[in-house]
Structure 1
């Protein structure tokens, strides 16, 4: 809903100007989620005691478990959720933007209420839940960083799935041959960059539709890695498909911090590299000459060209960089998560979820990372709910990560605009 005011210019003409707009999308989504949770708690009531474990028993600073009465806790949190929805509607009706803190607080409390409802008589290990969420989000974060860089440069990187998959294959092969996970990591970067090279060549040089090229590359890489697996890796499993993996590196003192210590400071090299990559991309995109040129060719290539920036070469090299970063995410599958490359589409749509994180994060590195962590949390939550044997059908558990992805992009992102020149080839002159 939009508020319109009339202004009387000096020449006597009447000008109409749009000054304020009520943004009701987020409050409506929060209200719908509150109604759905309330119906779930009413139709499937559960009683007992829900126990939350805040730390590992072996930790030097372990916290005691927290036991909560299931039914009472659920309804108290539900009342708080209703108050948050009312506050969000109040902000919208007074023409204020949806508060990020209200939305984040609503999400945390809604998940908490759902976990309390799902775990009477069971145990919810918070540290393990968060650790698994970060682990599952690592490929998504690297893929999202590749997507942010590519689209900021003006090229829609739909081929993230292929870059992850070829990166996983190359990492497994080279790490097996050389016995070095670092060599495998470099191979993954080259694999991701190779897919990006083909994407850049067709999209920038030959002006082929970028989305079509990306989709074709995903199918091509899937078929290629499947063929190479059957003819090369499977017959030589011990020598070509037994990669040496990265082992966890524990940071002294910091890893003993309750809850977040094991999650952030007892990880493998690739996870620490993820922290550095996100910080570097976030700083470089807005604070460096590289970032300024990158955003210029993605927003207004004609203007960038007039000040001497070589638009297409800039796009080309940044797409290669984006592919190399996405390839690191693929290496996580075979150098950390699984000790071999599998022919069962091991990326499992992670590239498309990473692309959704880019959109949900509004093409910003930090927001895209948070979105990727959200999707990783949803995936790990699915696994926990199966262990807790909740009355929710198993089919719903399988679709939970994708449902969260759809809700995030359609419900909260809504109609947002990416870089102005993304997906549009630039022809000089």
Structure 2
């Protein structure tokens, strides 16, 4: 890296100063995370992180690193006891400049004792009395890890500790962060070649849908037991590759030759005709009745759009379908479908939910009698916390 930097910046001749990153006042507390009997990985991670948080909030100043911005605020509520929320803040890239500055200032002055953050927290932040840095999962690179733990114990009189609870499944996070870096140039070439094949096969239309399965052979991801996790990883990789190709072609030719909308566009969805059977009779070749429902049909949306509504463009097609204005004389609308992955036995989940609803009922009845039905958010969260859940 050093010599590449010298070459790229044309700094030769130059003088090299070799230093060290060794910080003798930072130690390590790395433990093996055990998953207890009947416990899922997520539940075990929640338990050990919550235990660490209790310890860190007792007289320490801590940065707790989590790899993704998306889940921070939700997970923070499961790790931190309601009584301690005022001592904790989250920090990630999407927060505005004023919010970030206020959080850093409160942390610096000790009003906040813990920041739960992505690696966005740290650059340009110099707080000398941080004494704990905890990683929920491995950093994306070793260089990042060195930088992140180096934010502890800037004051040489403080003994800092870098802590983590390790489990082999933690590397799932790292793999997702590294996903983009794992796309080889020959894979990009094969993806582009396949894209052109699909384009020609579909009559060289300006707008087309492509399926993940079209590119599966190129990526050759190892199969996982969990189908949803496999599809999520495959989707992330393919979308990243297509966006890279879009950018590269634009730079090469000075205009947009490819425009990618990396959305999980439904190739199969559900439609309900709310005004009779006008839509159903017209498009019966694309629809299959869903047993046990009232006027709900499985719809082959990709074929329906390409063969009957291609002049609209796919976004406009979906918009009209969602608003019930796709076909005159009918009000056909798309119906949502959700796939649920159960991480515990269904009977156990039912028992937990019954217990939760009983507690909520007790809260509501009590508040109706004593406080005219009024209660605050903390009281509601406390009920969920009793059952190990988040609102």
Q: Please indicate, yes or no, whether the TM-score normalized by the shorter chain is above 0.5.
A: no
TM-score (norm 1): 0.21
Highest RCO, 1 vs 2 (Cα 8 Å, sep ≥ 6): 1
TM-score (norm 2): 0.23
Higher helix fraction: Structure 1 or Structure 2?
A: 1
Higher strand fraction: Structure 1 or Structure 2?
A: 2
Larger Rg: 2
